[in-house]
Amino acid sequence: MPIPRYQPVGDRALLVEFEKKISQEVNARVHSLNETLLQEKLDGVEETVPTYCSLLIYFDPLKTSYEYLVYILQDLQAENFRNVRTQRRTVTIPVVYGGSYGPDLDYIAKHNNLTEKEVIYIHSKKTYTVYMIGFLAGFPYLGEVPEEIATPRLKTPRLKVSAGSVGIADRQTGLYPCDSPGGWRILGWTPLTIFKPSRNPPALLNPGDQVHFKPITQGDLETLHRK
Amino acid sequence: MRLLKVLKPGFSTTIQDYGRVGYQKYGVPVSGVMDPVSFFTANLLVGNHMNEACLEATVLGPKLRFLNETQIAITGADLSPSINHDDVCNWRTLQVHKNDLLSFGHSRSGCRAYVAVKGGLSIPILMGSRSTCIRAGFGGHQGRPLKAGDVLKFNANSGKPIPILKLPESLIPEYTSKHEADIILGPQDDYFTKESISKFLTGTFTISMDSDRMGYRLEGEIIKYKNDQRMISDAIPVGAVQVPESGKPILMMRDAQTTGGYPKIAVVSTPTIAQLGQAKPNDEITFQQVSPIRAQQSIREYLKSINGIKHTLKKLSSY
């Protein structure tokens, strides 16, 4: 594991960059360092944004400094390397696959020479990590989708993808938190509210969470609705 | 209950305070005022605490009817404000009577005007802020810019009216159409050719018409990558200058998305981002590299100037 790179980002943020690749292992180090850092409750650290292979740390330059934070981080990093935190929250997301809920399930199956059932099985048996949240408020980037069902984005994005849609883009899967234009291949839909501004926290998922999808039927949806 | 009615919304008028801290990890933009200095001053001029939600009007101001008496202050861009068609000045406390009409005319200088109402606008707090997040459709008034017919509540004018305050002439900022932005190179300056970095630092860029609270698109030199190496998406701070494949830089402003995959050649300093809140389409920007130490000093000077305004107005109000 190469040594992480530290860089100032503007006058009030610091970027810690790990190996430049999308992988569970690298991303786990990002979340682990983030948690270790937040636990320190350092004066002047305002907020942090973990992404695939880097962590951006916003700080108040009048309360702390880039140099001081790098010094602290090098220490935390050493600990982080010996002992990556792996304890993570697991969230189960019910999904109705296919039909009008997942208009691209058919394409994903054909693209990969599989049946729709096989795609559902492969997509839902895996546990994913929330690599990061971005693009839209509450949109989680989950990885990694097994190679067998990886499918490229639509060439022309749809003008409207419904809130709750579950999509695939190459080796990633994600959830649309609100109605939005979008180019991911939609294979299903969840009745869960992915982002709600008045909820605390507002997003259903946190960066670093473990996620698995549970196939449900339209009938289950109606039962859920009645409850 | 005290009310004001929106007769005309103007070009884009939103409710903003200083914005959200701590929610970028959930993909929530920081939002908040584009020009903090004008915003703080507007609040101070009506005796509010500095972070009370205000209206932020852009280029073409709204037309508002106050259904109750109050005090207001207008700061920032000079959009030719008037009350009942009599011209009024920015940067001072204004008395508003029941049924008074606040309207704006042509834009004389700057881009964004702030209207503070004594006691503050009555808007629910979401994630620690009353700011409108247009992209995600929440905050402010129904998560969107104001529309004709909207009715906004403002808080009771508790206590007696404050004395009329005027910001001394020497503290009133002057807005120009040429801007010098201090930048710190990186975090992905190594994605760009040496020629492109030097073009970025020596060229003059024009803010395109296609610019808003999310970002300013810049026309001018084409900034090229070294080769077609692709970067992995990471966090985008406010003030980042990202360069898409077109080679035309985009300066990310307060409603920008929190993550993205375009390389960022540089990040603009905090005081410069605040100044650029008054930049408008067709204005020119040049970028100059500053040392981290110089950037630190600038932040101190910037905060000192805000404190200076605060103390001056405090002194004036105690006479």
What value does the mean pLDDT take over residues B174-188?
A: 96
Whether residues A26 and A57 share a domain: the answer is: yes
Q: Indicate which CATH number applies to the domain containing A150.
A: 2.40.100.10
Kindly state the tokens that stand for B245: 């494949």
- Count of domains for chain A: 2
The helix/strand/coil state of A152 is: coil
Testing the interface with A: which of B21, B25, B134 to mutate, by most A Cβ within 10 A? B25
Cβ contacts of B298 on chain A, cutoff 8 Å: 11
Pick from A53, A56, A135: CB nearest B232? A53
For residue A56, give the CATH number of its domain: 3.30.1360.40
pLDDT (tens digit, 9 = 90+) per residue, B38-83? Answer: 999 999 999 999 999 999 999 999 999 999 999 999 999 999 999 9
Task: Tell me the torsion sign for CA atoms B26, B31, B36, B41.
Answer: negative
Residue B106 near residue B64 (C-beta atoms within 8 A): no
Look up residue A39 and give its two tokens: 């636990």
Interface A:B, Cβ pairs < 8 A: 138
Query: Rounded distance, CA B16 to CA B27, Å?
Result: 19
**pTM metric for this prediction:** 0.94
Answer yes or no: do A58 and A100 share one domain.
no
Contacts of A66 in chain B (CB under 8 A): 292
Alpha-carbon distance A28 to A66, whole Å?
24
- What is the structure's pLDDT at B229? 72
* Cβ proximity of B183 and B266 under 8 Å: yes
Percentage of chain B exceeding pLDDT 90: 92
pLDDT at B285 over 70: yes
Q: What is the mean pLDDT of chain B?
A: 95
List C-alpha distances in Å: A42 to A47, A57, A64, A107, B303. 11, 11, 9, 49, 22
Compute the residue count for chain A: 227
Among A20, A53, A82, where does a domain finish? Answer: A82
Q: Name the CA radius of gyration of chain B, rounded.
A: 20
User: Do residue A124 and residue A183 come from a single domain?
Assistant: yes
Domains and CATH numbers, chain B: 2-171 (no CATH), 178-297 (2.40.100.10)
Q: What chain A residue is nearest to B261 in terms of C-alpha separation? A: A135
- At residue B162 the predicted structure's pLDDT band, cuts being 50, 70 and 90, is confident
Co-location of A142 and A213 in the same domain: yes
- Mean pLDDT value of segment B263-276: 97
- Structural domain including A184 reads 90-226
Q: Which amino acid is at B231?
A: M
Contact B126 A198 (CB under 8 A): yes
* Residue B316, token pair as written in the block: 């004036």
What type of residue is B203? G
Nearest to A106 by CA among A94, A118, A122, A90: A118
Q: Do B136 and A195 touch (CB under 8 A)?
A: yes
pLDDT score recorded for residue B319? 66
Say yes or no: A116 and A35 in one domain. no
Within 8 A by CB and 6+ apart from B8, the residues are B62, B63, B103, B148
Tell me what pLDDT residue B16 has: 98
d(CA A107, CA A48): 38
In this structure, are A185 and A94 located in the same domain?
Answer: yes
Of A11, A138, A206, the CB nearest to B184: A11
What does each of the 227 residues of chain A score in pLDDT, given as a tens digit? 678 999 999 999 999 999 999 999 999 999 999 999 999 999 999 999 999 999 999 999 999 999 999 999 998 887 776 676 667 899 999 999 999 999 999 999 999 999 999 999 999 999 999 999 998 999 999 999 999 999 999 989 999 999 999 999 999 999 999 999 999 999 999 999 999 999 999 999 999 999 999 999 988 888 877 76
Strands B93-96 and B151-154: unpaired
Residue B235 and residue B24: Cα distance in Å, rounded?
Answer: 9
3-state secondary structure of A172: strand
Is the Cβ–Cβ distance between A4 and A18 less than 8 Å?
yes
* A127 and A171 together in one domain: yes
- Cα separations (Å) of B129 from A67, B23, B147, B150? 31, 11, 21, 20
Chain-chain contact of A52 with B232 (C-beta, under 8 angstroms): yes
Output the CA–CA distances (angstroms, integers) from residue A200 to A50, A179, A196, B127, in the order listed: 19, 21, 8, 8
What integer pLDDT is reported at residue B234 of this predicted model?
Answer: 95
CB atoms within 10 A of CB B256: 23
Inform me whether the C-beta atom of residue A11 falls under 8 Å from chain B C-beta atoms.
Answer: yes
Q: Which two tokens stand for residue B280?
A: 């408008």
Helices (H), chain A: 24-40, 66-82, 105-111, 116-125, 218-226
Residue B7 has a CB neighbour count (10 Å cut-off) of 15
Q: Of A46, A50, A168, A25, which Cα lies nearest the Cα of A109?
A: A168
Q: How far is CA B149 from CA A80, A136, B138, in A?
A: 56, 29, 19
Quickly list DSSP for chain B: -EEEEEEE--SS-EEE-S--SS-GGGT------S-HHHHHHHHHHTT--TT--EEEEESS--EEEESS-EEEEEEEEE--EEETTEE--SSBEEEE-TT-EEEE-S--EEEEEEEEETT-B----BTTB---BTTTTBSTTTTS---TT-EEEE----SSPPPP-B--GGGS----SEEEEEEEE-SSGGGB-HHHHHHHHH-EEEE-SS--SSEEEEESSPP-BSSS--PPPEE--TTEEE--TTS--EEE-TT--SEESS-EEEEE-HHHHHHHTT--TT-EEEEEE--HHHHHHHHHHHHHHHHHHHHHHHHHHT-
Domain co-membership, A201 together with A220 = yes
Question: Which residues on chain A are in Cβ contact (under 8 Å) with B301?
Answer: none
A5-8 β-sheet, strand order: A5-8, A13-17, A54-59, A45-50
Does the pLDDT value for residue B159 go beyond 70?
no
Contact B270 A12 (CB under 8 A): yes
Distance from CA of B294 to the nearest CA of A (A): 10
Contact present, B236 and B250 (Cβ < 8 Å): no
Examine the pLDDT at B97 and tell me if it is beyond 90: yes
3-state SS class at A21:
coil
Residue A117 distance to chain B (closest CA, Å): 32
| Location of structure tokens 């008074």 | B100
A137 at interface of B, judged by CB pairs closer than 8 A: yes
Q: What is the pLDDT of residue A1?
A: 64
What pLDDT shows up at residue A123? 98
Query: Does the beta-carbon distance from A9 to B187 stay under 8 Å?
Result: yes
Residue A97 CA to residue A105 CA, distance in Å, equals 7
Query: B-side interface with A, Cβ within 8 Å?
Result: 21-29, 126-127, 133, 135-139, 184, 186-187, 231-235, 237, 239-240, 257-260, 264, 267-270, 292, 295-296, 298-300, 303
What number is the ipTM of this complex? 0.95
Is A138 close to B26, i.e. CB distance below 8 A? yes
Among A9, A17, A30, A136, most B C-beta atoms within 10 A, so best to mutate, is A9
* pLDDT digit string, tens, across residues B110-145: 999 999 999 999 999 999 999 999 989 999 999 999
Beta-bridge mates of residue B71: B95
Which residues in A lie closer than 8 A to residue B190 (C-beta atoms)?
Answer: none
Say yes or no: A173 and A65 in one domain.
Answer: no
pLDDT attached to residue B40: 98
Whether residues A117 and A220 share a domain: the answer is: yes
The Cα–Cα gap between B56 and B53 comes to 9
Domain shared by A32 and A143, yes or no: no
Q: What is the DSSP letter of B225?
A: B
State the average pLDDT over residues B250-270.
Answer: 96
pLDDT at B227: 80
Q: Give B242's contacts in chain A (Cβ within 8 Å).
A: none
Mean pLDDT for B229-248 is 93
Q: pLDDT tens-digit profile of B14-49?
A: 999 999 999 999 999 999 999 999 999 999 999 999
| Per-residue confidence (pLDDT) for residue A227, from 0 to 100 | 65
What residues of B are in contact with residue A17 (Cβ under 8 Å)?
Answer: 187
> Of A39, A59, A82, which residue constitutes the final position of a domain?
A82
Question: What single-letter amino acid sits at B7?
Answer: L
Domain shared by A74 and A124, yes or no: no
- pLDDT value for B157: 62
